[in-house]
Amino acid sequence: MSSVSDWLNRAQTSLTDSESPRADAELLLMHVLEVNRAWLYTWPEKPLTESQQDLLDTLLARRIEGHPVAHLTGVREFWSLPLRVAPSTLIPRPDTETLIEWTLDLDLPDAARAIDLGTGTGAIALAIKSEYPAWSVEAVEFNADAHALAKNNAERLELDVHVIHGSWFEHVTGHFDLIVSNPPYIDPDDHHLNEGDVRFEPASALVAEQSGLADLFHIIDHAPDYLKPDGWLLLEHGYDQAKAVCDYLRQKGFVNVQNRCDLGGNPRISGGQLPGVPE
């Protein structure tokens, strides 16, 4: 019978294609044993039961095939929120937390109104609501399964976010202090689509026409009709799209256009402000 540390070491050695073999193995163990990381290191000699070992070996085999850990455990933490994930949408990425950090730096009203377009798991909208309980936060999702997933995450985490089923601004009404989005932005011919976790994520969450810019430009085109004066639009995009997105924001009348870098130092979030009402 294997112990916790036996299995951890064996799993780590067999995950040769993973960029994070130790962390992957720990997450699988934490999921199956329903314990936290500290427990694993407090009780390394604990023997695994036969059924635990069978389940762990099955999950490990799927991870070796390339399935994302988050799909195997059904959970991914974003902004310290444990979000359910599913193959219907993107697994939230740590880089997207840059967008939440930017939101925290904005000087918005105490009872601001915000909307997250293409919410997927609900990650961005739920993170914002967790930081600003007094804000009115809405979210939009086109994929029916992802829409149900976002609603489920909101209910489970008891965060009052209204999740609308529809395409971008189709069913959105009124005006917002903040519009945020991490829309699909990958060029359909990008070779990264054949690598890593994205192989197991749906094209509907990843790919956009016009070299990946079509959805970003659609949102920039329509956002001015839904922003209050001085309202902000913040958009996540690809590492090589900052110039195109910022130029387009300026062209459409946005001011204070700027961008922020992701954890790897690439300009991945761009945003701008609608001009205020002249005094």
Ligand X SMILES: C[S@@+](CC[C@H](N)C(=O)[O-])C[C@H]1O[C@@H](n2cnc3c(N)ncnc32)[C@H](O)[C@@H]1O
Given a contact cutoff of 8 angstroms between Cβ atoms, the answer to whether 39 and 5 are in contact is: no
Amino acid identity, position 59:
L
Q: Is 121 annotated as a binding residue?
A: yes
Q: Is 120 annotated as a binding residue?
A: yes
Pairing of strands 255-261, 161-165: unpaired
Closest CB to ligand X among 103 and 119?
Answer: 119
- Contacting positions for ligand X (CB under 6 A): 89-90, 92, 96, 118-121, 123-124, 140-143, 146, 167-168, 182-184, 204-205
Closest CB to ligand X among 35 and 261?
Answer: 261
Closest CB to ligand X among 47 and 188?
Answer: 188
Query: DSSP class of residue 49?
Result: P
Q: Is 185 annotated as a binding residue?
A: yes
Given a contact cutoff of 8 angstroms between Cβ atoms, the answer to whether 225 and 204 are in contact is: no
Least CB distance to ligand X at residue 97 (A): 10
Q: Is 109 annotated as a binding residue?
A: no
Least CB distance to ligand X at residue 242 (A): 17
CA 9/CA 31 separation, integer angstroms = 17
Least CB distance to ligand X at residue 35 (A): 27
Closest CB to ligand X among 32 and 115?
Answer: 115
Q: Is 238 annotated as a binding residue?
A: no
60 CB contacts (<8 Å, ≥6 apart)? 11, 14, 15, 25, 28
38-66: burial string, b at 16+ Cβ within 10 Å, e else: eebeeeeeeebeeebbebbeebbeebeee
Least CB distance to ligand X at residue 250 (A): 24
Least CB distance to ligand X at residue 67 (A): 18
Closest CB to ligand X among 124 and 233?
Answer: 124
Q: Is 184 annotated as a binding residue?
A: yes
Q: Where are the alpha helices (DSSP H) in 106-183?
A: 123-131, 144-156
236 CB contacts (<8 Å, ≥6 apart)? 95, 96, 98, 99, 181, 182, 183, 185, 268, 269
Annotation: binding site for S-adenosyl-L-methionine? 118-122, 141, 168, 182
Pick out the residues of the known binding site: 118-122, 141, 168, 182-185
Known binding positions for substrate: 182-185
